[in-house]
Amino acid sequence: MTSVFDVTAPALVKEVALALKEKITAPKWATFVKTGVHKERPPAQKDWWQIRAASVLRTVYKDGPIGVSKLRSRYGGRKNRGRKSERFRKASGSILREILQQLEGAGLVIQKKDGVHKGRIVTAQGLSLLEKSATKVAKQE
């Protein structure tokens, strides 16, 4: 079986996003929001919510247990402040929190406390989805 780390991240995320379209739907407000204060415009892709959910699922698998705060730092970016120097700003916590809740509702992630580390980890069902998608991507490449 092909590992999640044997294929490129963008190809894996695209494949997982296709599988998540049946399980996760974007809220109505998702068409109007930016993904963080560092962005100037909302995402142009129609299925950006599923793509972000797939990316979050891969990140939770890779770095879990992980919470919303660390994910905000992971998906943040540089804010253009005009003539002033650029500064790092975190991504939207509401979007990431909603995606984690949807992934939890689909049975792909669960909350866990591991010593001092608290956050979400991937379930066996989520790992199965990632590995099946990685195998499919490896066959295509």
Residue 121 pLDDT more than 90? yes
The residues near 22 (Cβ < 8 Å, ≥ 6 apart) are: none
Banded pLDDT at 141 (limits 50, 70, 90): confident
- What is the spatial distance between Cα 8 and Cα 96, in angstroms, rounded to a whole number? 23
Angle subtended at Cα 31 by Cα 26 and Cα 36, rounded to the nearest 5 degrees = 95
pLDDT tens-digit map of 31-44: 899 999 999 898 98
Output the six-digit token pair for 3. 């590992």
Mean pLDDT over the full length of the chain: 92
Give the three-class secondary structure for 130: helix
Query: Domain map of the chain by residue range?
Result: 4-140
Cα 71 from chain centroid (whole Å): 8
For residues 78-102, average pLDDT: 94
- What is the spatial distance between Cα 56 and Cα 35, in angstroms, rounded to a whole number? 13
Banded pLDDT at 1 (limits 50, 70, 90): low
Banded pLDDT at 64 (limits 50, 70, 90): confident
pTM given for the model: 0.92
Topology of domain 4-140 in CATH is Arc Repressor Mutant, subunit A (1.10.10)
Task: Tell me how crowded residue 1 is: count the other CB atoms within 10 A of its CB.
Answer: 8
Among the listed residues 109, 107, 127, 110, the one whose alpha carbon sits nearest the alpha carbon of residue 4 = 127
pLDDT tens-digit map of 49-62: 999 999 999 999 99
